[in-house]
C-alpha cells in the first residue's frame, strides 16, 4: 500500500491550499480529498491503531501514482516549551519531524512555503476572528499566545527542529510573496522538478489569486505593527542565514511595518 512520499508541511496561511489544488490536478500526483489530514500533528492519532488505519486508507488508491502526498500546514509548527509564545494543545505531538521519519521514512520530500511572519500572524488573527474565537476589541498582540498566532511565525526555530531530523535537500523552501503571489508557473516548475514528475500543464494551473480569496482585513494598528516587526526581527535574520537569502521582498514589508508603527 502506498503512503506519502511528500508532504506540504506549511506554513499556515502561506498559500498551501493553492498548492494542494494544483497538485491534486496533476496526472502523476495523488492527494486525498481531505484537504488537511492532521495526522502527525496529533499525538493521539499516531498512537491509535484506528487512526493509523484511517490514514493508510486515505491513500488506498494511490499505488499507480508517481508522487503521493498530503497537506497539513500545522506540521511545520514544532513545540519548544521554553519559547515565550508556545502554548501547545494537550493533543499536540511534540515531535512531528520524528514521527514523519518513523512513519514515512527518510526519503520523504517536504514542501514548505513561508509568508512574512507578521503578515502571516495578521492573517491568522483575522481567520480566528471571523470564526468568533477572538474577543471583541482584542488586538493581535493580545491574542499572540493563542492558536499559534505568534509562535507559528518563528520559522528559523521550526526549520531548525526539522533539520535535526531531515537533511536540507529534503526541503523545497519557497517564499510565498515571490512564488504563490508572484511567478506561479516558475514555482510550479520547481515543485514538479522537486517531486520528479512531469511539468504542470499551464492551461490547467489554478490561476485564482490568493488575494482575491482573502477576506478584507482591517488596517493594522500602529501598536500591532510595531509589536510584530520587533517580535520577528531576530528570527528572520536567523532564517536569512539558514537559507542564504536576504529575502528582499520581506525587507520591503519590514519597512512598511516600520512606517505603520510610527
Quick one: cell of 158?
521550526
The verdict on residue 1 lying in a domain is: no
Picking from 81, 147, 122, 137, the residue whose alpha carbon sits closest to that of residue 228 is 122
Q: 14 Cβ partners below 8 Å, 6+ apart?
A: 73, 113, 114, 115, 120, 176, 180
Residue numbers of the chain with a pLDDT score lower than 70: 208-218
pLDDT at 209: 60
The verdict on residue 227 lying in a domain is: yes
What is the residue range of 59's domain?
A: 6-260
The verdict on residue 230 lying in a domain is: yes
The verdict on residue 133 lying in a domain is: yes
Q: Are 140 and 231 in contact, with CB atoms under 8 Å apart?
A: no
pLDDT at 207: 73
Q: Are 187 and 180 in contact, with CB atoms under 8 Å apart?
A: yes
Distance CA 37, CA 128 (A): 20
Q: How many domains are there within the chain?
A: 1
pLDDT at 44: 94
pLDDT at 210: 52
Runs of H (alpha helix) within the chain: 16-24, 43-46, 49-57, 96-104, 117-130, 155-163, 184-195, 210-213, 222-243, 248-260
The verdict on residue 219 lying in a domain is: yes
Q: Are 15 and 188 in contact, with CB atoms under 8 Å apart?
A: no
pLDDT at 212: 44
pLDDT at 224: 94
The verdict on residue 103 lying in a domain is: yes
Q: 130: domain CATH number?
A: 3.40.50.300
Q: 205 Cβ partners below 8 Å, 6+ apart?
A: 22, 184, 185, 188
**DSSP character string of 151-213:** GGG-HHHHHHHHHTTS-GGGEEEEETTTTTTT-HHHHHHHHHHHHT-PPP-GGGS----HHHH
The verdict on residue 98 lying in a domain is: yes
Quick one: cell of 88?
501547545
pLDDT in tens, 71-127: 999 999 999 988 889 998 889 999 999 999 999 999 999 999 999 999 999 999 999
Amino acid at each position: 500500500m502506498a503512503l506519502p512520499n511528500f508532504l506540504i508541511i506549511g506554513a499556515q496561511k502561506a498559500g498551501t491550499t493553492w498548492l494542494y489544488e494544483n497538485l491534486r490536478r496533476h496526472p502523476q500526483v495523488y492527494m486525498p480529498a481531505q484537504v488537511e489530514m492532521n495526522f502527525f500533528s496529533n499525538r493521539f492519532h499516531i498512537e491509535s491503531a484506528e487512526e493509523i488505519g484511517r490514514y493508510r486508507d486515505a491513500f488506498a488508491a494511490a499505488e499507480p501514482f508517481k508522487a503521493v502526498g498530503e497537506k497539513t500546514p500545522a506540521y511545520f509548527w514544532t513545540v519548544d516549551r521554553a519559547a515565550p509564545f508556545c502554548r501547545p494543545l494537550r493533543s499536540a505531538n511534540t515531535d512531528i519531524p520524528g514521527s514523519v521519519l518513523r512513519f514515512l521514512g527518510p526519503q520523504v520530500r517536504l514542501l514548505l512555503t513561508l509568508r512574512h511572519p507578521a503578515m502571516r500572524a495578521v492573517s491568522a488573527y483575522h481567520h480566528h476572528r471571523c470564526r468568533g474565537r477572538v474577543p471583541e476589541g482584542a488586538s493581535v498582540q493580545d491574542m499572540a499566545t493563542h492558536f499559534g498566532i505568534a509562535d507559528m511565525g518563528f520559522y528559523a526555530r521550526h526549520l531548525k527542529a526539522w533539520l535535526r531530523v531531515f537533511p536540507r535537500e529534503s526541503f523545497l523552501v519557497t517564499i510565498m510573496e515571490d512564488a504563490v503571489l508572484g511567478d506561479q508557473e516558475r514555482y510550479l516548475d520547481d515543485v514538479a522538478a522537486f517531486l520528479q514528475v512531469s511539468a504542470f500543464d499551464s492551461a490547467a494551473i489554478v490561476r485564482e489569486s490568493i488575494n482575491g480569496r482573502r477576506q478584507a482585513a482591517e488596517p493594522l494598528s500602529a501598536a500591532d505593527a510595531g509589536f510584530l516587526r520587533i517580535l520577528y526581527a531576530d528570527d528572520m535574520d536567523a532564517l536569512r542565514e539558514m537559507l542564504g537569502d536576504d529575502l528582499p521582498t520581506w525587507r520591503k514589508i519590514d519597512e512598511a511595518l516600520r512606517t505603520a508603527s510610527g
